[in-house]
Amino acid sequence: MEFELPILSPSILAADYSNLGNQLQLCEKAGTKWIHCDIMDGHFVPNISFGPDVVAAVRDSAPNMFLETHLMIENPDNYIEAFADAGSELITVHLEACPHLHRTLNLIQLNGCMTGVAINPATSLELIRPVLKIVDLVVIMTVNPGFGGQTFIESSYEKIQRLTAIRMEEQTQFLIETDGGVGLKNIQKLVKSGADILVAGSSIFRADDIPERIELLRKKANLGRKDFV
């Protein structure tokens, strides 16, 4: 996988579902390389979003984008195959929903996908140490998962910085993603703190001009990378 960092990954949770193909085209036109699908089950999180059929439709509408699926669901093992078959290239599960995390990550790999592990804002980084050498992506939730358009939790910057230090300590290579409340006001500082992938939902899809917003976000993210490197 060769991508230039930082990467902006639009979350379709905030998209206009009656016009999804067109919204994805707008993203593509603005040079979007990754797309983020949020799966919510009404149990692990209080909201319900969509399932594998919609992910397959995203795959068809955006065949060139790298498709990441963020499972905010209980018992993710039961659904990994379906989301892999739908065209996901990376599947993220929540530490808080996985009592047998190695087994779950193994299952994602067996289904031909890259692996991600997400942690909620109140979950300690120490809890993911045992899997840091085997995951491709760590997602630091910067809101409590379940809804788009929530307020970014400010203590997240420090958590990202600590994770970049742990990555050095452990001499490993996973990517760091931030998800929730990302927008023009904080994207530069997030990248400066160590974020490699920035998920943004409402900031992109609620903008009047989607391609223009993507470009602006990317510009600010790139400034943050200069500060970080």
- As annotated, the active-site residues are 38, 179
**Cα–Cα distance, 8 to 44 (Å, whole number):** 26
Work out whether 11 is an interface residue with ligand DX5 (CB under 6 A): yes
Using rule CB under 6 A, residue 156 touches ligand DX5: no
Residues paired with residue 117 on neighbouring β-strands, in sequence order: 93, 138
Q: Name which of 67 and 102 has its Cβ closer to ligand DX5.
A: 67
The kind and range of the H/E element at 221 are: helix 210-228
| Residue 38 interacts with Zn ion (CB under 5 A): yes or no | yes
CB of 39 to Zn ion, least distance (A): 9
Residues 179-198 that bind ligand DX5 (CB under 6 A): 179-182
Ranges within 62-91 binding Zn ion (CB under 5 A)? 70
- Find the length of the chain: 229
Torsion angles phi and psi, residue 177, rounded to 5: -115, 145
Is 117 within 8 Å of 92 (Cβ atoms)? yes
Residues 114-143 contacting ligand DX5, CB under 6 A: 143
**In which region does residue 42 sit, left (phi positive, over 0), alpha (psi from -120 to 50) or beta (all else)?**
left
- Name the residue nearer to ligand DX5 (CB basis): 145 or 194: 145
Q: Name 99's Cβ contacts closer than 8 Å, sequence gap at least 6.
A: none
Residue 150 makes contact with ligand DX5 by CB under 6 A: yes
Of 106, 44, 94, 103, nearest to 69 (Cα)?
94
Strand-pair partners of 115: 91
**Window 60 to 99, contacts with ligand DX5 (CB under 6 A):** 70
Query: Is residue 200 close enough to count as binding ligand DX5 by CB under 6 A?
Result: yes
Binding mask of the shown chain, residues 28 to 67, with x at each position contacting ligand DX5 by CB under 6 A: --------x-x-----------------------------
* Paired sense of beta strands 34-40 and 7-10, if any: unpaired
Contacts to Zn ion by CB under 5 A: 38, 70, 179
Contacts to ligand DX5 by CB under 6 A: 11, 13-14, 36, 38, 70, 143, 145-146, 148-150, 179-182, 199-203
